[in-house]
Amino acid sequence: MPVIEVRNLRKLYRAKPAVADVSFTVAKGEIFGILGPNGAGKTTTVECVTGLRRPDSGTVRVLGLDPRRDGRRLREKVGVQLQQCELPGRLTVREALELYASFYDDPADPARLIRRWGLTEKRDTPFGKLSGGQKQRLSIALALVGGPDIVVLDELTTGLDPQARRAAWKMIEEIREDGVTIILVTHFLDEAERLCDRIAVVSDGRIAALDSPRGLVARSGNGMSLRFRTPVPVPDGLLTGLPEVREVRRRGDQIAVAGGDDVVQAVVGTLTRHQIRLHDLMVERPTLEDAFVALTGRTFED
Ligand SMILES: Nc1ncnc2c1ncn2[C@@H]1O[C@H](COP(=O)(O)OP(=O)(O)OP(=O)(O)O)[C@@H](O)[C@H]1O
């Protein structure tokens, strides 16, 4: 049974749809990605899921509850790390966690969370004096203090340097290992590809595609491509005649072949049978970014 069900969600701001029509379900224990460029409607979607905003139409069920009607009960079970976590600058790490813990009937132990998220040395440091990475770690600890079944992480790694981003990815995987279901809102393709079980690609307030990262790439129909050189010329028609091949291009002495998922095997097999050796072989599979362009008809920066 899904832990989150969103059906035909629609949310307007001044008669303009921020979310036009969004439907998806999230299974227990999944890392579910909501991926899209700025302004696509990602934050509005998760705000409706967590009960922070009231949808104009559509239904949302989280652990069988309606976030608007059962907000109090859901707050016990859903941890939210929102974009730009801001706390009073003088509040220390320990005070923030103890304050948040006091909101819950059965909170996690703040001291344990401080240790777990590597904040022991910073426990008496005021929020205003933490680095970006430390603030992110605190915001994760705050999202987990209620011992949630689900956490929503909105643009968790935005503004972090590459090292801190990788550390955050590790933390996200650790949260999942504890059995927590995760909604990960991101506009980073590599992050979504690396972490998510399934990704909803959001564009203009709608889901353009929803699948596993591999599934999205396969679905975009971009197939595989390979480039190589040969010591002897390859006769015209030898490769273009293969059913797996879509396109053959020659650039100097380099041959580039694009086709379906089986194109590499077909080309290498055919050339080998004709005793033509391949040099400098490079195989390229399409990336999630290629899939995004193919699926939405726009570039990621649009
Ligand atoms: N409170 C608001 N009032 C009016 N318009 C809003 C409000 N919040 C968001 N919008 C608009 O709704 C659209 C969707 O915004 P939303 O924040 O959901 O997108 P997003 O995909 O999360 O983008 P970002 O990554 O930039 O936050 C945008 O065009 C945005 O300008």
The string of pLDDT tens digits covering residues 265-292 is 999 999 999 999 999 999 988 888 888 8
Lowest mean pLDDT among 1-5, 60-64, 66-70, 80-84: 80-84
CA of 44 to the centre of ligand 1 (A): 6
- How far the first Cα of the chain sits from its last, in Å, is 36
Task: Look at the pTM and tell me if it is higher than 0.95.
Answer: no
CATH superfamily of 2-218: P-loop containing nucleotide triphosphate hydrolases (3.40.50.300)
**What value does the mean pLDDT of the chain take?**
90
Residue 162 pLDDT > 90, yes or no? no
Confidence of residue 300 (pLDDT cuts 50, 70, 90): low
Task: Report d(CA 112, CA 94) in Å as an integer.
Answer: 11
CATH of 223-285, one of 3.90.1150.10, 3.40.50.620, 3.30.70.100, 3.40.50.300: 3.30.70.100
pLDDT average, residue stretch 145-174: 89
Q: What is the pLDDT of residue 84?
A: 64
CA-proximal residue: ligand 1, atom 13 (nearest): 18
Domain extent listing, the chain: 2-218, 223-285
Residue 84: strand, helix, or coil = coil
Q: Which residues of 12-33 are buried (b: 16+ CB within 10 A; e: fewer)?
A: eeeeebbbbebebbbeeebbbb
Pocket test of ligand 1: the residue of 10, 42, 52, 292 to mutate, having most ligand atoms within 8 Å of its CB, is 42
pLDDT average, residue stretch 130-146: 89
ipTM value for the complex:
0.92
Distance of CA 104 to the CA centre of its chain: 29
Query: Ligand 1: residues whose CB is within 6 Å?
Result: 13, 18, 36, 38-44, 187
